[in-house]
Amino acid sequence: MLDTLDRLVERVHTLARYGVWFGGGLILLAAFVVSFDVTIRKLFNVSLGGADEFSGFALAIGSAWAFGFALLERGHVRIDSIYTILPRPVCAALDILGLTVFGLFMFVMAWQGTGVFAESVRNSTVTLSAISWPLRYPQFLWVAGLWWFVVIVVILWIRAVLTVVRGDFLRVQKQIGSKTVQEEVNEEMVRLERKRAQDEAASEGAKP
């Protein structure tokens, strides 16, 4: 069962990475649109209209799709000053409790966001700018990102609970716990080694 969940998490991790790329692309596009709008407003005294709204949509959508990837990467900020000195079973219990509370909070947010989206569809709500964008489209992408996060939480929660049942408390920490300083240092060293190898390969390829 755990092996199946591990494979499922790997696939979810890949999909979450695509979601981050999508959200990051939207934010980059929003930065370009805003920069272009500011430039033509300065030079020609004209405006695209709605650039600020588009940037707000991009930030909301990009953030929603990044939440799940950050959770899989154990990148969410946590206060762990006491956590690091507690016994492993207690840490595992706190990890699951934290994931449960976080998941419930995001479930409520996704549920409320679905209500906002449904109301926009029902009333054909549009933005207040001159472009009058239908709100249903950006809200759909935003809500989809929130529900995707909830799905990831459920999968990680089930795997963590089954791991606790097996008594492998250290593995729970590596699944959903805060990263230790040593883990962060090791990851950075791996990145540096990979970058150095790539630079050396590029240098060798550039030689006549």
**Assigned domain for 200 exists:** no
Residue 119 lies in a domain: yes
Phi-psi region of 162 (alpha: psi -120 to 50; beta: other; left: phi over 0): alpha
Give the separation between CA 18 and CA 26, rounded to whole angstroms.
12
Rounded Cα gap, residues 137 and 156, in angstroms: 29
Q: Is the dihedral of CA 28, 106, 148, 137 positive or negative?
A: negative
- CA–CA separation, 173 and 80 (whole Å): 12
- Asked if residue 189 belongs to a domain, the reply is no
| Backbone phi and psi for residue 126, each to the nearest 5 degrees, phi listed first | -125, 170
185 in a structural domain:
no
The number of distinct structural domains making up the chain is: 1
Helices 169-176 and 136-165, packing angle to 10 deg: 170
Residue numbers of the domain that contains 45: 2-180
Does some domain include residue 106? yes
Reported as a single tens digit per residue, the pLDDT across 81-132 is 787 788 889 989 999 999 999 999 999 999 999 999 999 999 988 887 777 7
pLDDT in tens, 149-204: 999 999 999 999 999 999 888 888 888 887 777 777 777 888 888 888 777 777 76
The closest alpha carbon to 52, from 130, 147, 160, belongs to 130
Q: Is residue 169 part of a domain?
A: yes
Q: Residue 194 domain-assigned?
A: no
Tell me what pLDDT residue 102 has: 93
Amino acid residing at 44: F
**83 domain-assigned:** yes
Give yes or no for residue 55 having a pLDDT over 70: yes
